[in-house]
Amino acid sequence: MILSLKNVSKTYSNGVKALDDVSIDIHAGMFGLLGPNGAGKSSLMRTIATLQSPDSGSIHLDGLDILNNKIEFRKTLGYLPQEFGVYPKMSANDLLHYFASLKGVTSKSERNAIVAKALEVTNLTDVQHKHVAGYSGGMKQRFGIAQLLLNDPQLIIVDEPTAGLDPAERHRFLNVLREIGTNHIVIFSTHIVDDVKELCTDMAILNGGKILAQATPKQMVAALTGKIWTTTVARDAIEQLQKDFNVISSNYNEDNTLNVRVFGEQSPGESFTKAPASLEDVYFTTLSNDQLIAETEKA
């Protein structure tokens, strides 16, 4: 199973270029699409879901031209947008039966089996008779996964699903995605690096509507091995450090000094020590290099 995008571009009427010649192949498993807010992630998700048409390019799922066969494609699609509505005075069980009917499951015994499985996978069986409006944020997200599983989709798209969830809810939701990711293509769009690190077997970094990098998380981290350096400096020294080196991140210590992480092929100086690379380093380094390229092109 493979989802293939070739030269997909999209510019909105206000002149914003949301997607810029995106070409990428996505295989079965958990695929993380990582990028900052405004990078074009939601535009790409909506385009793949055929909710908007690109200006140019093609998208195929196992050979099916989805842009020219939208109805057929949507039968194999499960899509959970950033925000979705629910019926406040209906239970999860009743709602799932209703959605299953809309998806063409007319047999009551078949619906019972499909709904029971969806509730089990999403860990909602014990609360299936409660109104969805009373669910916590994490439970509502898991209900969103339950409803999209009703038609056994080949491709599942989840757009920023953990935003706003507390740590416990986030953990439960990621466990649900991990379970369903073994038998489907699951595209997981997020700006949270830890979500991708915990879940995904393949990933890409998107910014400015462009794919900046694609590989497995392990491959991306391995590429930075020996190139991350750290030092501790006073707060008033960070500005000069940013001028002299490729500073990719910093965080405060209890004494109000800063731990600073720098990318460099060689040691930046005696005060720096080599540090193990992380996926967060990959993310910030990729975005930093993209910004440097953009500034050079403008100059």
Domain boundaries, the chain: 2-215, 222-298
- pLDDT for the residue numbered 296: 46
Ordered DSSP codes for 106-160: --HHHHHHHHHHHHHHTT-GGGTTSBGGGS-HHHHHHHHHHHHGGG--SEEEEES
Arch. (CATH architecture) of 2-215: 3-Layer(aba) Sandwich (3.40)
78's CB contacts (< 8 A; 6+ apart) are 148, 149, 151, 153, 155, 156, 157, 184
- pLDDT for the residue numbered 85: 67
- pLDDT for the residue numbered 299: 45
28's CB contacts (< 8 A; 6+ apart) are 1, 2, 183, 184, 185
Q: Cα angle vertex 85, ends 97, 33, to 5°?
A: 100
The per-residue pLDDT string of the chain (299 residues; one tens digit each, 9 = 90 and over) reads 899 999 999 999 999 999 999 999 999 899 999 998 888 999 999 999 999 999 999 999 998 999 999 988 988 888 887 766 666 688 999 999 988 887 778 888 989 999 999 898 888 999 999 998 888 888 888 888 888 888 888 899 988 877 777 888 888 888 888 877 777 899 988 888 888 888 898 999 999 999 999 999 999 999 999 999 999 988 888 888 888 899 998 888 888 888 999 999 999 888 899 999 999 999 999 988 766 555 545 54
- Burial of 73-109, coded b for 16+ CB within 10 Å and e otherwise, reads bbebbbbbbeeeeeeeeebbbbbbbebbeeeebeeee
- pLDDT for the residue numbered 5: 97
- Enter the pTM of the model: 0.83
